[in-house]
Structure 1
């Protein structure tokens, strides 16, 4: 319950390392986060200190990170901060700042991205849950079509004038 949740914006510093583990997929990469400030003497933006975090992603997030994230890309990471320190033999104190990621996305303030929904594995009909007929029909209706109509569609098309309301499940 008493976790430190952070949201950091930075650049991917290392290639994501993807592993298939017994607990499911896992991926990690290093994130460089550099503060910037306005230097009044130089009348210019100046880079401050750079912090490095190891970002950990699990399950479907790990699969998507491995397919989407590359070195140098600007990303936004939200997750639980975990700071560890230990004494290693013959060395000074060692510290590590890790983020157990809940969400990772490209920073659209610094570029564009093309989103593709990840394919879900097919569930056999026998494993599908029975619909609950006591819930409103909107809750069990299939997801609406998110397709954008072609640019040459006639202006009088009723589907464009009154689109179906989106149902988010």
Structure 2
């Protein structure tokens, strides 16, 4: 429906995504996330876990395939979608209501992890952020590293070791798109 607000939830997957196929042959995936707030006791100054929010999530089509191939139990994710409510009868015959999220966008949280983004091979460069010859995001730099990668490929320099592989992320050695000066 049009006009429904999107909400964003940051949480952890409580189980591996469950890929499924409809009777019509369409892919879809379900998964659950738990988002637990941290609460500070004003008197003692200690932090503790608050009451977790459990949300079932659903995605469809190629999006579902990407989620099933990329995420696993324990992954910290940011999910944006439309909140839905459904009623059902549980195994004991009790009427229950659950909140579910129809996924619009999802991505890994980089607060405690790194990620490397790879474009689907059947998508090519179309619809992306620019082809390598244009120096846009998502292309291969002269150093051979995907420019939106968060970690260098195996065997590449970077971090404390240094090396031109990581320099291409900041622009030196890329085929355009970034200034030669590092931002910091």
Q: TM-score, normalised by structure 2?
A: 0.66
| Residues 1:90 and 1:6: Cα distance change in structure 2 (over 3 Å) | same
| Larger RCO, structures 1/2 (Cα 8 Å, 6+ apart) | 1
The Cα offsets for residues 46-86 of structure 1, whole Å up to 9 and x where unpaired, read as 11111111110111110111111100110010111101235
Is the contact made by 2:108 and 2:115 (CA closer than 8 Å) also made in structure 1?
Answer: yes
Is the contact made by 2:19 and 2:68 (CA closer than 8 Å) also made in structure 1?
Answer: yes
Q: State the alpha-carbon separation in 2 of the partners of residues 163 and 31 from structure 1.
A: 40
Is the contact made by 1:61 and 1:103 (CA closer than 8 Å) also made in structure 2?
Answer: no
| Residues 1:80 and 1:149: Cα distance change in structure 2 (over 3 Å) | same
RMSD (CA atoms) = 2.7
Question: Does residue 3 of structure 2 align to residue 15 of structure 1?
Answer: no
Is the contact made by 2:132 and 2:175 (CA closer than 8 Å) also made in structure 1?
Answer: no
| Residues 1:118 and 1:47: Cα distance change in structure 2 (over 3 Å) | same
Q: State the alpha-carbon separation in 2 of the partners of residues 161 and 58 from structure 1.
A: 36
| Residues 1:57 and 1:89: Cα distance change in structure 2 (over 3 Å) | closer
Q: State the alpha-carbon separation in 1 of the partners of residues 116 and 175 from structure 2.
A: 27
- Number of aligned positions between the proteins: 140
> 1:36: Cα distance to partner?
1.4
1:101 corresponds in structure 2 to 103
> 1:93: Cα distance to partner?
3.5
1:44-123 aligned at under 5 Å gives the runs: 44-86=46-88, 91-120=93-122
